[in-house]
Chains A and B, each alone.
Chain A
């Protein structure tokens, strides 16, 4: 990328972009520009730049074209066959293709956010060190070494109020000071990128879109604590993130940003990637360290805390990806600036992965303390298909459900815990009236039961027993005492489990019982699923009053179990029906029960 390049074409190449064909789009841009000699025609260089994720993955492939005349224009859903037209019209003729431009909601989605951690994502080429250096890359570590000392770096982080973004919310500066105070010369820094929560993908996007900022964050932590070596523990399910991070590490070693006497600043820092192997529990810090040592990823009791006795029995400091990504901004722009964002107890911004039944799913970075209602309705455009909002599940398998009546809860650590959910990794799964809360609880419990490491009894046996009860309920064989049993077991498991997985696994059940007890009761007492979701409890018939005779269900049915003629109410033939629910999903009027 050069300073005088007047035309930039930014092509989103996060995992979402690549799977929608971003590589082909990029190749096509390069081909068209070279073959047509566009550079000569417009008298300026055209740079085709691959970038990381911009957050609105549902609209991939996203292409931004930045020219002097038009400023920045975004096109979405770009296909390779449209590229030539875009080049001809936008770059050569300098006219914006209004028809193909991203709809106004795209700008709303972007403008409502506050990008701090994700400034680089979607703007710079994650595979080029120069692009990062242009964004003041490695200036923060330089400032730490030249103008500050380890103690003042820790003080700065303490003053900023940064709390662990992995979900627990422990003050980062405090954590660092514990590890810094531990005796010994050999210490480790670990970045936890084992983002196993279903429905969260911000860590992956940062690694794919701006890998150097993680490296720098870890260097700063290393300098502050006195650690000379570090690991980044990445999920194996993220091949692209691993590839780009490895590329970044190789370049850093080559250019002297890592290794001995880093950047000539007089301290050593070595980093290595450690690939996970598919175990959710490895996101727990003690299990993660066992995994790096080559063992089964089983948690161990704390104390001793990792800050005292961690990896290979050496003092170790573990932070999440997003936490490290915040650090350089705090150092460069000052703790006061950072502390001015957010709420009393939660400072800075937080990235949320908003998914489920919203119009625009994707990554959203907002100042902590924005209300959930604003995130869902203002940023993400509200609920899809004109359906009614029912609840939002915050914090993944360890979080809870937040119903409509407390939608104005601000998103900070303490308010969410008060509401019975938790920040967790920052996944927000939005659910509408067709989502059954008992089924959701069962889903999360199935996940945590599968992923339980089996070391302690409450989690291993307890989750299985709770799941059996929930399965019975969703199949219409619930008993009246079940709800009480679930509550009692859930509270016991919370108290008695060894690690965070077991201690939080009952949360989805406890919170759904708290806010949606009537749904449980309907399943148990009336043998009905109010959301028409649990297959065993559906009647499989068409509600005549609701049917608008549109025939959408006929088209959707894969086994011809629907009888329908124009102007007639549809009919469902139970003998043929395989209970696949295709018709139910296709119907916009909830006319199938």
Chain B
């Protein structure tokens, strides 16, 4: 949450993006009559595009009849929403209590060193996004890392190298 405001200002400086609004319209149609529909709509857009592009915010504002400022308020409050494109591989390292006690900070620092990016940042080639997460709820296997949907338990500094070597080989296309 602490990084969100910075992200927001950067997003406003960015030039207007050209994106296909068709999927966003579909998502809005789906939730149009639901009370409290702002969050599900934004979550749907986030899942669809991988982030919440600026043009979709204006679209949602217009169609749901809410102020863009209110939408920005929601987007920057919750950790789950992103205003910038994210990497093909999202590396999450758990820094929950159990993982912290078992040495997660070192795993985080090793990733920082190897990837050259910090928390909630994306590599310029859009291959990796790195995030620290509060707790992934698999404390039995601490310290824990995840890449997209794959979980890696009992992490060590050596395993970080293996993971990055592995994902460097993988194609950028889904």
Contacts and interface: CB of A to CB of B under 8 A. Distances in A.
Contact of B97 (A236, A356, A453, A580): A356
B123 interface: no
B164 interface: no
A468 interface: no
Interface stretch (B10-18, B21-29, B129-137, B166-174): B129-137
Interface string A554-593: 0000100000000000000000000011100100000000
A237 B136 contact: yes
Task: Give the one of B102, B135, B158 with max A CB within 10 A.
Answer: B135
A297 B137 CA distance: 22
B140 A362 contact: yes
Contacts of A355: 97-98, 101, 139-140, 142
B141 A57 contact: yes
Contact of A277 (B37, B81, B158): B81
B137 A356 contact: no
B2 interface: yes
Contact of A450 (B1, B140, B157): B1
A451 B73 CA distance: 15
B140 A396 contact: no
Nearest to A203: B137
B56 to A, nearest CB: 16
Given A356-B102, A357-B101, A431-B101, A450 B141 contact: no
A585 B98 CA distance: 15
Interface stretch (A15-23, A29-37, A210-218, A258-266): A15-23
Nearest to A279: B78
B116 interface: no
B77 A580 contact: no
Contacts of B153: 19-20
Contact of A356 (B38, B74, B98): B98
Size class of A's contact patch? Answer: 35 or more
Interface string B42-64: 11000000000000000000000
Interface in A239-265: none
Contacts of B36: 274, 292-294
Given A277-B39, A450-B1, A197 B135 contact: yes
A451 B4 CA distance: 12
A585 B102 CA distance: 9
Nearest to A356: B101
Interface in A343-389: 353, 355-357, 361-362
A279 B77 contact: yes
B106 interface: yes
Nearest to A294: B38
Contacts of A292: 36
A540 interface: no
Interface in B94-147: 95-98, 100-103, 106, 109-110, 133-142
A51 interface: no
A435 B101 contact: yes
A50 interface: no
B97 A275 contact: no
A337 interface: no
A57 B140 contact: yes
Contacts of B102: 356-357
A236 B40 CA distance: 11
Interface string A177-202: 00000000000000000011111110
Interface string A419-452: 0000000010101000100001001100101110
A280 interface: yes
A279 B135 contact: no
A558 B43 contact: no
Nearest to A278: B79
B96 A199 contact: yes
A353 B135 CA distance: 13
B123 to A, nearest CB: 22
Contacts of A16: 138, 140-141
A429 B73 contact: no
A195 to B, nearest CB: 7
Interface in A50-109: 56-58, 60
A523 interface: no
26 contacts: A16-B138, A19-B153, A20-B153, A57-B139, A57-B140, A60-B140, A195-B137, A199-B98, A199-B135, A200-B137, A236-B80, A237-B135, A238-B137, A277-B39, A277-B81, A279-B78, A294-B38, A297-B77, A312-B35, A355-B98, A356-B98, A361-B142, A431-B101, A443-B97, A450-B2, A582-B106
Given A195-B137, A199-B135, A356-B102, 9 more contacts: A19-B141, A57-B139, A201-B135, A201-B139, A238-B137, A362-B140, A435-B101, A440-B101, A444-B97
Interface of B: 1-2, 35-40, 42-43, 73-74, 77-81, 95-98, 100-103, 106, 109-110, 133-142, 150-151, 153, 156-158
